[in-house]
Structure 1
């Protein structure tokens, strides 16, 4: 079945449009007859026996029927509705759409499958699907390392193909986000550490990894601005890039430049969360170069770049706040300019421990986290009964809370009361749909965006599994 036809038959909204259905507000939260919202078995795109077993086991453990219902619906949502698996010449390829947009973001697809990674050794079919995702993302990186999202073939033409700087066939958006490449590394590293299988790491894989290193080096901009620039045809200041499409001027300090972060344009080109993630993933890539390819030159390139980024972060990305002390800035320019803000996706300042950059007790992170959950953060939103961090992705007002940020908050604290607050907030803001949404208006969860956003559903399932393992008393 064609993906667009699948969306239509499943009754799923498309295009990320705002859904307003006041009837959801009347949903009886005490109703114990929670009916599964998963597609019928014969309509599911991909099924994993290991994942199905997890669903059965977890539902037995969860005390609250509403939470169990949300987990049952959300945890397998990526597999049920977004995974397109195929084999070509005996090699697996997996194309994963975001949900209501028929395109594969390199960041989103890795986050979507992340909670399934621990089960790869229990399910050969699941393992081969993830190997196929490695092959698909590697192929995409070679095709266009500056693009953030792709189609399943390199012939389909995007509606963005008429931009001032047109995108290639096969590319949905060409927005230069550092983390697009970093998530490919993250996926490969986790796959190997879990399975010890080196099958996907062939010469094509090495070409893609060398392309990643080359691209990140270009965007340190020590030797000029590099080949990428961005502009829209229409006169929207939101997507207007000064400096002939390269962004605002910077002092080159070793950090990597970006034009975008999480689909939105950077104000200052040195986006701090992505650079902190690069410190983690360049170390992983150096180890993989040595382990799989005996490529000492590639490994050393990663290590040199990593040290340069660390020096730039130490010098320019850690600032002294008048209230909170030393904190991480959001974006900087190397001249002393800084933006203090937050995004709700991954990576961001809240989930630095989640991406492996630091522990939750790291002093600068602790200070940053206090700032994030205060009125000093322009994206922090507090209503009468909902609160959370929003995003620059939609114009405000109205203010919108992003559940991705609420989940990140729960994953980066040891405080039981804070975790319970996050669990209850997520439980009570699904608008009766049985799924988590991209965003909702503060205190009005029935006014939400994206009824079919697989990443946040996977992230919710990942959170439940982590809490069951580490703090089962909060759920059982």
Structure 2
């Protein structure tokens, strides 16, 4: 990474032009300035160089790179990459970093910028490059999603070198192995901190599961342990990402076997969801469960983090008009979702990862991104600004009755999704 790559990726004149367009199209100076603060945040505060000078994206107030978060953090900048080569260079470099890290440890979700050994003391992982080894299938799906979108927007293929191909093969093989987690997986995760969601039961193997055709995940996108091992939005997103990989393998890498394997596995995951992940609700009809175990247990809820059930159309997993999605949306945006909260300042989806009655700006932004109504999108943009607690930036979560009570003073992923909503609302994405 050249010393000036970050500054070159988003020069002041480019940001000024984009803010002016946002202000003009919304008719709101307030929205324009809120966009400026959040859009500049990731570039200014989270882009670093690793110990070999390659781009590295920390999650924000935690000095580690999450494969999932870093993909979402860069999503609002993809539009600029179409015509601005330095931004394209930066994103291509980050994609390269993501796939290189997958080859370091394919079960890890977060990594250190250098082999410092930082992370959680007591975790049974002795690689100093790894911050955390919580296995989450979104750690594979999001980098594939980012790479595919980047290629489609820019035509760039230089990110898809030997490390990309090696990581892609690992992804397919590991997702397939974890279809039979009980019999075949050697992965275990134990963290002795006395918090149930921070560790896996049965000595780190996790709660029992039966074979469904879906692939197992130890943890959710929130980094909380799954209640049941088959996370339905994660499997639908993994199936979508595998189809993206099949296209990349065919058109860029020239590996038809990889393409065929990815396409076949995508079909198996999607079929597993159809057979086991859709359940009948007495009031809403057929809906997507959030998690199942293949043994008859089902969890009906949604979590604020992506991939969520709410986010499925925006991630390209289902159509916005899909009747099962529409029924699911009605359920999860209601008190029937145990993590849907309504208060005097806001209403929306929160997470067991944060205190009760805390709504997440990520979920509010996703609610807007999956709405076909411009007025609803504008309402949510205004709501997000109104609930920033006076900080000018987005948080992880905030109290639905008192937005000055929040977790994390600023959260890069939330800032990114806020900007993405504005860009799509104004047709500037």
Asked if Structure 1 and Structure 2 have the same fold, meaning a TM-score greater than 0.5 normalized by the shorter chain, the answer is: yes
1:181 aligns with 2:140: yes
**For the residues of structure 2 that align with 1:452 and 1:130, how far apart are their CA atoms?**
22
What's the counterpart of residue 178 of structure 2?
A: 219
Report matched runs for 1:63-142 at 5 Å: 63-85=27-49, 93-142=54-103
| Two-structure CA RMSD over aligned residues (Å) | 2.1
User: Does the 8 Å CA contact 1:400/1:442 hold for their aligned counterparts?
Assistant: yes
Unaligned runs of 5+ in 2: none
What's the counterpart of residue 323 of structure 1?
A: 283
Q: Which has the higher contact order (CA 8 A, sep 6+)?
A: 1
For each residue in 1:210-252, what CA deviation from the matched residue of structure 2 results, as whole angstroms up to 9, or x when unmatched? Answer: 1111211121117824121111123333334223211111111
**For the residues of structure 2 that align with 1:70 and 1:213, how far apart are their CA atoms?**
40
User: Does the 8 Å CA contact 2:396/2:411 hold for their aligned counterparts?
Assistant: yes
For each residue in 1:66-112, what CA deviation from the matched residue of structure 2 results, as whole angstroms up to 9, or x when unmatched? Answer: 22221111122111111124795xxx721011111111111111111
Give the TM-score normalised by the residue count of structure 2.
0.93
Give the TM-score normalised by the residue count of structure 1.
0.85
User: Does the 8 Å CA contact 1:213/1:301 hold for their aligned counterparts?
Assistant: yes
What's the counterpart of residue 330 of structure 2?
A: 370
1:170 aligns with 2:129: yes
**For the residues of structure 1 that align with 2:61 and 2:382, how far apart are their CA atoms?**
26
1:292 aligns with 2:252: yes
In structure 2, relative to structure 1, the CA distance for the partners of 1:227 and 1:285 (3 Å cut) is same
The worse-fitting range, judged by mean Cα deviation, of 342-351 and 57-66 is 57-66
What's the counterpart of residue 58 of structure 1?
A: 22
For each residue in 1:316-374, what CA deviation from the matched residue of structure 2 results, as whole angstroms up to 9, or x when unmatched? Answer: 10000011100000000112211111111211010110000112111000000000111
For each residue in 1:124-158, what CA deviation from the matched residue of structure 2 results, as whole angstroms up to 9, or x when unmatched? Answer: 111111111011111100001111111122x1102
Q: 2:310 aligns with which of 340, 346, 350?
A: 350
1:438 aligns with 2:402: no
In structure 2, relative to structure 1, the CA distance for the partners of 1:134 and 1:470 (3 Å cut) is closer
In structure 2, relative to structure 1, the CA distance for the partners of 1:118 and 1:437 (3 Å cut) is same
Q: Counterpart of 2:307 in 1: which secondary structure?
A: coil
In structure 2, relative to structure 1, the CA distance for the partners of 1:146 and 1:87 (3 Å cut) is closer
What's the counterpart of residue 232 of structure 2?
A: 272
Unaligned runs of 5+ in 1: 1-40, 472-476
What's the counterpart of residue 47 of structure 1?
A: 10
1:419, CA displacement in angstroms? Answer: 2.7
User: Does the 8 Å CA contact 1:76/1:458 hold for their aligned counterparts?
Assistant: no
**For the residues of structure 2 that align with 1:451 and 1:417, how far apart are their CA atoms?**
28
Tell which structure's C-alpha radius of gyration is larger. 1
Q: Counterpart of 2:143 in 1: which secondary structure?
A: helix
